[in-house]
Structure 1
Amino acid sequence: MSFLEYIDGLQAVLERIKREQRSNIEKAGRLIADSLSAGGIVHTFGTGHSHLIAEEAFFRAGGIAAVNPILDERLIFLKGALESTRSEQESGLARSLIEREQVRAEDVAIIISNSGRNAAPIEMALEMQARGVKVIAITNLEQSRPSASRHSSGKKLYQLADISIDNCVPAGDALLTLPGLSSRIGPSSTVAGAAIINSIIIEAVAELLHRGEQVPVLPSANIEGVSEETLSLILSRYKGRIRYLDVDAGGAGGPELRRSEGVA
C-alpha cells in the first residue's frame, strides 16, 4: 500500500502549490501573456531531471506553440549521468547555449532547478536578463535557501529570478520513509514542476482570452481528424525562432523532430 502514501504525498504537494503559490503563478501567467501579445516566445531550460519540465511545455498536446526548450545532450543524461552532474556545475556552458538561440527582449524564460544552486541554470538566468528577458524560476526553496551557490556570483536561482515559484517539495525531493530503508524514496519535483509549468501556461492563455486575444493551442496529432496541415499551420509562425521546430536542429545533440515523435 506504500504507493497510496506516495500518491497522497503528491496530492499534498499540489495542494500546497495551490495555497502558497497562487499569486506567483498568476503573476507568471500575466508576464507570459504580455510577452506573447508582443510577439515573444517562452524559452525553457533545466538540467538533470529538470530538463523534463523544460520539455513538458514544448510541442505539447493542450499546450501552446510558442515554447522553445534549450537543450544540450551533456545536461540531459545522453552523455552519461555523471557527465550531466558535472556539466550543470560548469560555468560558461549556458552562455554557449544561449548564443545559438533566437532570444529577444520581449521573450520570457522559465528556468527550472530543484536545488537552484548549480552554475548552469544560474548563468542561464543571468544571460537571459542581460538580454532584457524576464526570468521565471521553478525551484525548491526548502532545499535552495540553506544551500551554498555553485556560481561565481554567490547567488541562487530564486534570488535572481523576476518571479520565483516554489515547487513545495521536501528537501532532497523524495516523499516517503519505508521500514528497513535508510534513504527516502518517491521523487516529487517532476510532478510538481509539470503541474506548475502547465498552470503558468493556462493562466497566460486565460489572460489573453480575457483581453480578447487568441493563442494557438496544439491539438493531439494522435486524435482522428487532426491533420498534419493543422499542426504545420499553427507552428509555421514560429519557424526560425524555435530551434526544434526546424528540420535540422542539429547542434549539440539536437535530434531531427519527426511527426511520429510529435504531439502526444
Structure 2
Amino acid sequence: MSDTATSTAVHDFAEAVRVRLAALEEQAASGAFDAAIDLITDAIRKGGVAYAFGTGHSEAFAMEIAGRAGGLIPTKKVALRDLALRGDLAVADLKGANLERDPSVADRLFEIAEVGPHDVVLIASNSGVNGSIIGFALAAKRAGNPVVAVTSFDHTGKVEPKHPSGQRLKDIADIAIDNLAPYGDAAITVGADVPVGAVSSITAAFIAQVLTVGVAERFVAAGDTAPLYLSANIPGGDEHNVALEERYGITRFA
C-alpha cells in the first residue's frame, strides 16, 4: 500500500471518529446523558459507589470510569479476573473468550463485587449480548441497583443474545446509551473492502468522561467539592487520593 493510500485510510478513520464524537457532544448538549449523570450523582450523594464492568476491549470503559486521574473517587471496577483473584476460579480458566460468554459466572461475580444497596452499575458491551454481561446486569436488577448500559444499538440488534433469558443489555438497563459504533465495530474499509478501524473503545471512553464531567458539574453547581482523583504522578496526588478514598470507603483491587 502506498503512503497516499495509508494517509487516506487514516483520514477516513479519523473522520469516522470525529463524526461520532461530534454526535455524542451534541447529544450531551441536548441533555441526553442527564438521566445517567443524575443516577450516578444521586448514588454518590447517598453514600453509594459507581461500579463499572466490561469484558474484552470494553474493560477499557470501566478503566475510564474507575480509579483514574480526573475520575470520580467513589468508583470501583469489576473484571472477570476477580473470579480468580478474589474467588475460587482457576487462573487458567480466564484464557480465551469463553468466560465472557458464560452466564453462569455472573451471580458469583456480582457477589464478589459486593455491590451495595445505594450503588449504581455501569456496564459497557459493544455487542450487548454476551452471557456474563447480561447475567451481571440481571443480578444488579434483582438486587435493586440501577443499571446504565453503553452499547452499540446497531450491532446488538443484529446478533443473537448468548444468555438463556434471550435478553440484550440495552433492554435490561434503566438507561441505555448508544456508543454509535457500527455493526462489527470497524468503521472503514481498506483494500478489498476489509473492515478496519474499530471505534467503540474511543466512543465509550468519551462517554465515560462525559458522565464523569457531568457528575463533577452537579457537585460544583451545588457548592460542593467534586470527589475527583488527582494524578498520582503529581506532588500531593497520593495524599489527596488516599484521604478521599478513606472518606468514601474505597478499597482498590486489581
Q: Please tell me the TM-score bracket, short chain as reference.
A: 0.7 to 0.9
**What percentage of residue pairs aligned between the two structures are identical?**
29
Deviation (angstroms), 1:146: 2.5
Describe the SS at the equivalent of 1:99.
helix
Choose from 49, 58, 65 the match for 1:41. Answer: 49
Return the alpha-carbon distance in structure 2 between the equivalents of residues 32 and 229 of structure 1: 25
Which of 179, 183, 186 is 2:191 aligned to?
179
Aligned residues between the structures? 239
Q: 1:214 matched to which residue of 2?
A: 225
Task: Give the RMSD, CA atoms, in angstroms.
Answer: 2.1
List runs of 5+ in structure 2 lacking aligned partners: 1-6, 84-90
Aligned residue number for residue 145 of structure 2? 133
- Structure with the largest fraction of helix: 2
Match of 2:202 in 1: 191
Q: 1:56 aligns to what? A: 64
Amino acid at match of 2:131: A
* Deviation (angstroms), 1:227: 4.4
Give the match for residue 236 of structure 2: 226
CA-to-partner distance for each residue in 1:166-207, whole Å, 9 max, x for gaps?
001111111111124x42011100000000011111111212
Counterpart of 1:90 (choices 102, 106, 113) is 102
Compute the displacement of 1:4 (Å): 2.0
Q: How many angstroms does 1:64 deviate by?
A: 1.0
> Is the Cα contact below 8 Å between 1:74 and 1:83 reproduced in 2?
no
1:82 offset after TM fit, Å? Answer: 9.2
Query: What is the aligned counterpart of 1:200 among 176, 194, 211?
Result: 211
User: TM-score, with normalisation over the residues of structure 1?
Assistant: 0.84
* Structure 1 unmatched runs, 5+: 255-264
Q: Secondary structure at the match of 1:231?
A: helix
| Structure 2 counterpart SS, 1:175 | strand
CA change 1:145–1:20 in 2 (3 A) is farther
Give the Cα separation in 2 of the matches to 1:121 and 1:13: 24
Change (3 A) 1:39 1:82: closer
Give TM-score scaled by structure 2 length. Answer: 0.87
CA distance in 1, matches of 2:61, 2:197: 17
State the Cα deviation string for residues 96-134 of structure 1 (Å, max 9, x = none). Answer: 111112211211110000000111111111111111110
Secondary structure at 2:194 match in 1? coil
